[in-house]
Amino acid sequence: MNRADPQLEVRPLAGAIGAEIHGIDLRSPLADATVARIREIWLQHSVIFFRDQPLPPRDLAAFARRFGEVVHYPFLKGLDEAPEVIAVAKLEHERVNFGGLWHTDTAYLERPPMGTMLVAREVPPYGGDTLFASGYAAHEALSDAMKRLLDPLRAVNSSSKAEKTRTREDRKAGEERKVLEAEHPVVRTHPETGRKALYVNFGHTLRFVGMTEEESAGLLAYLFEHQARAEFTCRFRWEPGSIAFWDNRCALHNPINDYHGHRRIMHRVTLAGDRPQ
């Protein structure tokens, strides 16, 4: 039997995005009402964090399933004990980290993920924090004229762009990686909250539909810089057993690569999304 709904304590990390949730043990069975409350907090803050939750891979995947359909990441093999879970690692001898730039996950898919969960297994003695940025705040801060300009635009998002930035994701994929591309609106309407979010990202957005890369470069450069403004962001310091759960439809993230010579091991689960509108 599921236990009664606990009294959750919500501690916002910043004004625009992010909150820690305390007063819950995710290793215990969760009532439907508790899961519904967590989802409310998640939708309000776009990314939520839990401390001291060392869920084994299978339990992490089971927790994720309470919020949606768990899907496989397109390029990396999952763990043997939980194929839906992938390892996100940087080892002591490596200099490049996984996804080390501002991005939303796999925007080059026709149906990008709804959300992503990440749990810390091993963390460096310092560094390795992750930044998150609000697509809502980025859109709301634009001038009315810029909003009118962007509203009808669509953008091409390509997995090939990441090859130019050379994150560890691409190095691991190697020769087996094929190019995936998808067109999505530059301004996305969230299907649950109804709020509008700026939906381009430095990691994957290549150009505007109907324009060349050269023609698109100036405006995209402005948008990439704009969406990472400090007042739109929060910063999370990992500890073993920390979990982050972000809404990939309205939040960007950027893992900081500042811990050379140390190991950082994370496990990640991805939730199926819909076609951006």
> Is the separation of the CB atoms in 151 and 187 below 8 Å?
yes
DSSP 215: H
Q: Residue 222, Cβ neighbours under 10 Å: how many? A: 11
Question: How many whole angstroms separate alpha carbon 225 and alpha carbon 82?
Answer: 37
CA–CA gap between residue 13 and residue 243 (Å, rounded): 14
Q: How far apart are CA 270 and CA 215, in angstroms?
A: 34
What DSSP designation does 53 have? -
Residue spans of alpha helices (H) in 103-151: 135-140, 144-150
- Distance between CA atoms of 99 and 238, rounded to whole angstroms? 16
* Catalytic positions: 103, 105, 253, 268
**How do strand 130-134 and strand 115-122 relate by DSSP bridges?**
unpaired
Could you tell me the two tokens for 10?
């919500």
Q: Is the dihedral of CA 151, 153, 154, 156 positive or negative?
A: negative
